[in-house]
Chain A
Amino acid sequence: MTTPAPHDPHEPHPAASPRNEDSWARPVHRLTTTATGAGQDTVTGRRVSGPVQGFGQMWQKTFTVRLPGDDHPAEAVVATWKALFPTYWPKGSTFYSPLSGITPGEVALLEVAPVPGSPVKMSTGVLVIYADRESFTFMTPEGHALSAWITFSAYRDQDETVVQVQALERTSDPFIELTYVFGANRANDRFWEQTLANLARSMGVADPVVTSVKICVDRRRQWRYVRNLRHSAAVNMAVGTVTAPVRWVRRRRVTD
């Protein structure tokens, strides 16, 4: 470990470009996407929303699976993961990649089941805020159930490659927080556990063991963000579903 010379606080800070500058997305005020195929785009025009802007308790969740042997270098695993990302998701949820794939600044669209097995899908998306050869990170938009950063990475540990998903997340609004208390938190965990298991199986691990570590980083709820409800894809989906018969009847009356 090197010890650099102490920085003089009165000296101007260095202006040289950092070595990973191209790995970061440029700041965006409102999101746009090149992803196609999703039934609905609820992301365009929205801002990103990370754990700082979320409502619920803050969780740090780390899921890992190990690939034994030397056949899967970490960088190769991450490259494959980026290229085939949607294929590892559990059934019932769909990831619509942007045109240039998982690269910094791109926005993907998602359709996810609010509860496992539900025929109704919730439309949302993610912004790729960071991507290098060893990791990539998504940040959620307003309206997503979670205000989160989710980092996907791989690294070598002795004679194994460790593949990891680490999420730093709060639920976005009180409605989702309530569902988290009553089981959605665990369902979210299972989503990433199944994803890692699918990835490991695709790389030849017959019976993958996924481990998870969950830490509640902040037990407080951020009531100043209660108004996130107005963006909620879940609430919009619920209202749309409940009012569908009324809208159908109105359309019938107009056409009659």
Chain B
Amino acid sequence: MTDTTVDVSRSGSTAILRIHGEITGGSEPALMEAYGTAGDARSIVLDFGALDYMNSGGIGLLVTLLVRAQRAGQRLLAVGLTEHYRQILALTRLDEAIAIHDDESSALAAAAV
């Protein structure tokens, strides 16, 4: 069983999805349900600060989430990434589509522009 929990909060027109545990292909229900809760947010911030583990299935899931967000006209941003996960987003060139920020306040500021 995949150990993924996602807390959703809101800051103005930005939804923040705090991911706990792991992201694998099996995390789809938890992540997509959280995304659905974000509703009409203009931007989605993914907070990876409590991420323990991500495999290649999880990266595929992020792409699926990215496509859904782009279709809805939403921007996707990421915070809380360790150096290792920053490297993975660079390796997979996902960092060209998901804006990476050092902390939540800078992500929220960028999302508000």
In the complex, whether B94 has a CB less than 8 A from a CB of chain A is yes
**CB neighbours of A10 from chain B (8 A):** 103-104
**Min CB distance, B77 to chain A, in Å?**
13
Q: Which residue of B lies closest to A16 (CB)?
A: B82
Expressed in whole angstroms, the Cα–Cα distance for A50 and B85 within the complex equals 17
Q: Are B50 and A24 in contact (CB under 8 A)?
A: no
Q: Are A151 and B56 in contact (CB under 8 A)?
A: yes
**Min CB distance, A62 to chain B, in Å?**
10
Question: Which of B7, B49, B90, B93 sits near A14, CB closer than 8 Å?
Answer: B49
Question: Which of A4, A58, A168 sits near B21, CB closer than 8 Å?
Answer: A4
Expressed in whole angstroms, the Cα–Cα distance for A149 and B92 within the complex equals 9
Question: Which residues of A3-29 have CB atoms within 8 Å of chain B's CB atoms?
Answer: 3-4, 6-7, 9-11, 13-15, 17-21, 23-28
Question: Which residues of B79-111 have CB atoms within 8 Å of chain A's CB atoms?
Answer: 79-85, 87-88, 90-94, 96-97, 103-104
Expressed in whole angstroms, the Cα–Cα distance for A19 and B50 within the complex equals 14
* A34-42, A131-139, A243-251: which lies at the interface: A131-139
Known: A7-B50, A9-B79. A50 touches B94 (CB 8 A): yes
Question: Which of B16, B50, B91 sits near A28, CB closer than 8 Å?
Answer: B91
Q: Which residue of A lies closest to B62 (CB)?
A: A52
Q: Please count how many residues in chain B sit with their CB below 8 Å of the partner chain's CB atoms.
A: 45
Expressed in whole angstroms, the Cα–Cα distance for A4 and B3 within the complex equals 10
**Min CB distance, B42 to chain A, in Å?**
19
**CB neighbours of B18 from chain A (8 A):** 6-7, 9
- DSSP class of A's interface residues: helix, strand, loop or mixed? loop
Q: Are B49 and A7 in contact (CB under 8 A)?
A: yes
- DSSP class of B's interface residues: helix, strand, loop or mixed? mixed
Q: Which residue of B lies closest to A19 (CB)?
A: B53
Q: Are A53 and B81 in contact (CB under 8 A)?
A: no
Known: A20-B55, A52-B96, A149-B92. A9 touches B80 (CB 8 A): yes
Known: A4-B5, A135-B56. A53 touches B96 (CB 8 A): yes
Q: Are B87 and A27 in contact (CB under 8 A)?
A: yes
In the complex, whether A203 has a CB less than 8 A from a CB of chain B is no
Question: Which of B21, B54, B63 sits near A51, CB closer than 8 Å?
Answer: B63
**CB neighbours of A6 from chain B (8 A):** 7, 18, 20, 50
Please give the residue numbers on chain B whose beta carbons come within 8 Å of chain A beta carbons, in ascending order.
Answer: 1, 3, 5, 7, 16, 18, 20-21, 25, 47-57, 59-60, 63-64, 66-67, 71, 79-85, 87-88, 90-94, 96-97, 103-104
Known: A9-B47, A18-B53. 20 other contacts (CB 8 A): A3-B5, A3-B20, A7-B18, A7-B80, A9-B49, A9-B79, A13-B48, A13-B49, A18-B51, A18-B84, A24-B87, A52-B94, A52-B96, A60-B60, A60-B64, A130-B56, A149-B60, A151-B56, A153-B57, A220-B71
Closest 6 pairs (CB-CB, A-B): A137-B56, A7-B50, A130-B56, A13-B49, A9-B104, A13-B80
